[in-house]
Chains A and B, each alone.
Chain A
Amino acid sequence: MGEAIVITSGKGGVGKTTTSANIGTALALQGKQVCLLDTDIGLRNLDVVMGLENRIIYDLVDVLEGRCKVQQALIRDKRFECLHLLPAAQTKDKSDVTPEQMAEVVNELKPDYDYLIIDCPAGIEQGFRNAVAGADQAIVVTTPDTPAVRDADRVIGLLEQEEMPSPKLVVNRVRKASKEKGDDLLDVDDVVATLAIDLLGVVFEDEGVLRASHKGEPVATTPNTSASLAYRNIARRILGESVPLLSLTTKKSFLARVKSLFGIQA
């Protein structure tokens, strides 16, 4: 029985679809049976990022409304036999689907896969509730800026009310040289300290991600960009390996954290 993992964020554009595509691809690279589910009905993207948009015949809403069997709607990935995509409908709306229907599809697919990766739309309304309905676990994606972190916090609060383990965190678009003062960005440390959930991975800002999406080839398939490595490490952590986080935190800031824990001004 597979595990359904929803990728969510609250705020739009922080990298849910990119993360879904790459985690799915990286898990497939490890030989796992993976199904990607796009629940962003009306604004589907995952098919494009995967380069599969031309192969769509049926979509999620077709399945839910009984126009086809779920197997007929699944699209096999170009590169990996073991990677499939269930695309969202582009001509429908998020309110055309209910959480119960979503949970049903997820449960129908789970026995055939090791992992179901559910790409969630932005927001906390119906689309979010649909995406979360069938999930066993959640990964929250944020970027290191205040608005994204506040929304991530809101979403974590909502996820904590669901019957699932504490969500895991991916901090995306981290800039290596963003240490100058006055910068609006937060440290990964700040983000983790605020959200207080386990950090699953850090993905750097990488132009390769953009180019890969454009080409329809997730960056995880390319050998050695930092983002590609980051996604593959995230996949390994999902599989239970303990892969050290790329070292970001200097010893000093760790000490500062310990100090602040004990109420000493750092």
Chain B
Amino acid sequence: MKTTFQKQFVTIKGTKDGIVIHLDDQCSYASIVSELEAKIAENHSAFDEGKDVSVRVHAGNRYLTEAQQEEVKALIEHTGVIVVDEFYSNVMTIARAQEEKEREELTTYTRIVRSGQVLRVKGDLLILGDVNPGGIVEAVGDVYILGSLKGIAKAGIKGNENAVVAASVMVPSQVKIAEHLYLTESTRAERAQEVLYAEPKYACIEHQEEEIVFHALNGLAAFRRDRKNKRD
């Protein structure tokens, strides 16, 4: 094994939550890349047999761009056995932080959204009341309606395909999630007998079919958990 007095830029630690690769945050990015290459080559045998190992990469106080994350990931996964589970950094861009904050904000509206009215929020939207035919509600995040959705609801309007539209009673004229659109033919949402779903449902994009589907609301907790895991 090559010995050096130099401080190591890349250290690998086993923790009770699995393997963590720490990247020094004072050196140049190039030094990390070259040391990673060397380390992986050197320790290759250690990973040789055995099953896939998933690791987390901790970048300390360094901000890694998407491209840099991709590069680091590619280098590590080049071993064929290590899979990068997630990146973690103590820092993020202001834009991202703002986005995150807005994403987590919930706006509550306690009124009926009536014909001709448009309600648009940056985070999630909770409506305590109906969305009437001709009314439009839009959220960057999710839309939750404690009432009947008879008008138009759009979730994930900035492209978030994991957003949902939930309502106690579904008689939508349109549901849109990211770029996917669901249209109903029936337009007489005022009539009680034309309800699409009289029990609480949430609409989300089914990724296999690439279309919007409706599920019983009690599945939403699990959906949100999966979504959160996917996200971080």
Contact = CB atoms under 8 A, between A and B. Distances in A.
B191 to A, nearest CB: 5
Given A194-B132, A194-B150, A263-B200, A154 B115 contact: yes
Contacts, number: 65
A12 interface: no
A256 B132 CA distance: 20
Interface string A194-212: 1010000000000000000
Contact of B133 (A150, A156, A157, A265): A150
Interface residues of B, number: 25
Contacts of A187: 191-192
B190 A194 contact: yes
A58 to B, nearest CB: 37
Given A160-B111, A260-B192, A266-B192, A153 B134 contact: yes
Contacts of A256: 192
A264 interface: yes
Interface in A180-232: 186-187, 189-191, 193-194, 196
B63 to A, nearest CB: 46
Interface string B117-131: 100000000000110
A119 B112 CA distance: 26
Contacts of B195: 260
A75 interface: no
A257 interface: yes
B192 A190 contact: yes
Contacts of B200: 263
B116 interface: yes
A265 B198 contact: yes
Grouping DSSP codes into helix (H, G, I), strand (E, B) and loop, the B interface class, with mixed when no group exceeds half, is loop
A85 interface: no
A149 interface: yes
A178 interface: no
Nearest to B189: A194
B168 interface: yes
B112 A196 contact: yes
Interface string A124-168: 000000000000000000000010011101101100100000000
Given A263-B198, A263-B199, A191 B168 contact: no
Interface residues of A, number: 24
A162 B117 CA distance: 15
B191 A153 contact: no
Contacts of B111: 160
A189 B169 CA distance: 17
B101 interface: no
B158 interface: no
A154 B199 contact: no
A257 B198 CA distance: 11
A265 B129 CA distance: 19
Contacts of A191: 190
Contacts of A186: 188, 190-191
Contacts of B188: 146, 186
Interface string B199-231: 110000000000000000000000000000000
Contacts of A153: 114-116, 132-135
B135, B168, B189, B191, most chain A CB atoms within 10 A: B191
A190 B191 CA distance: 6
16 contacts: A146-B190, A150-B133, A153-B114, A153-B115, A153-B132, A153-B133, A153-B135, A154-B115, A154-B134, A186-B190, A194-B132, A194-B150, A194-B190, A196-B130, A256-B192, A260-B198
Interface of B: 111-112, 114-117, 129-130, 132-135, 150, 168-169, 187-192, 195, 198-200
Given A153-B115, A160-B111, A264-B198, 9 more contacts: A153-B133, A154-B114, A154-B115, A157-B115, A190-B191, A193-B192, A194-B150, A196-B130, A260-B192
Interface of A: 146, 149-151, 153-154, 156-157, 160, 186-187, 189-191, 193-194, 196, 256-257, 260, 263-266
